[in-house]
Amino acid sequence: MRLRLLPLALAFPLASSAFGEELKVHAAAGVKAPFLKLAADYEAKTGHTVTVVFDTAGAANKRFLADPDAALLITTQALVGEGEKNGRLAGGTSYRLGETVAGFAAPPGSPKPDISTPEKLKAALRSARRIAFSDPARGATAGTHFMKVIETLGIRDEVLKKATLAQDGVETMRLVLEGTVDLGVTQTSEIVQANRAALVGPFPKEFDLATTYSLWHRAGLSPAASGFVALITSPAGRARLAEDGVRSAAGR
């Protein structure tokens, strides 16, 4: 009997098919906790491997555009809409996943300031010794909004003198939970995912910011990637998102 050796180029696809496909996803950090759980569930059920790279919404969008091998993008609906309009996200499909609001966090067990009105928020920000928020230069949605708010309140320079610019909301919450800062500004989904006891509350209604997250993928998804999309957008997937502070948003 003669054994025939397959060329490497043919052998690797066969191995990939036998042991599962590797999926790469670029996602906003605001959905980190539920997506880690969804990825783990999908891996356990299918044998496929899901790697999710988390960053700010803007940075995740840029990473996906520069990564033709990535299967899925999860970022803000605003960025998806902009990409579809300017042609950088062309010929694909998008799904609205849910929304969250920007808010404030404080170390669990510490006094929580009243931030229910613009004046009370201003007083709380002036009283805080240290404040953390995600770097607007890295495409942070909540950080960009916070800069506009402190400008409107007339305390921009005062706040920035005692501010720490975090890489993303996950790092903001790490600083809060370590007690390194007195207040953190990020999406409420990131706050409850890190520690529900840290939630102070959303911005006052005058400065309310609701962010809708969407999933986008290119045409011609593999069966494995299509299966993961089906899980994410299923009732069970949306329930998992809601548990971690990403409220349901109807529509596709």
Return the pLDDT at 158.
98
Return the pLDDT at 249.
59
Q: Give the mean pLDDT of 144-148.
A: 97
Domains of the chain: 21-100+211-248 (3.40.190.10), 101-210 (3.40.190.10)
Q: Give the mean pLDDT of 110-124.
A: 97
Our separate counts of H helices and E strands in the chain read 11, 10
Q: How far is Cα 234 from Cα 246, in angstroms, rounded to an integer?
A: 14
Return the pLDDT at 98.
93
Pairing of strands 93-105, 199-202: antiparallel
- Mean pLDDT, the chain, rounded, equals 90
Return the pLDDT at 19.
57
Lowest model confidence (mean pLDDT) among 7-21, 30-44, 120-134, 195-209:
7-21
Whether the pLDDT of residue 248 is over 90: the answer is no
Q: How far is Cα 17 from Cα 124, in angstroms, rounded to an integer?
A: 56
Q: How far is Cα 209 from Cα 86, in angstroms, rounded to an integer?
A: 24
Report yes or no on whether pTM surpasses 0.85. Answer: no
Q: Tens of pLDDT along 62-94? A: 999 999 999 999 999 999 999 999 999 999 999
Lowest model confidence (mean pLDDT) among 18-32, 96-110, 112-126:
18-32
Q: Give the mean pLDDT of 160-173.
A: 95
Higher pLDDT residue, 2 or 125? Answer: 125
Q: Tens of pLDDT along 170-201? A: 999 999 999 999 999 999 999 999 999 999 99
Whether the pLDDT of residue 3 is over 60: the answer is no
pLDDT above 90 covers a percentage of the chain that reads 86
User: Where residue 18 falls among pLDDT bands split at 50, 70, 90?
Assistant: very low
Name the residue type at position 150: I
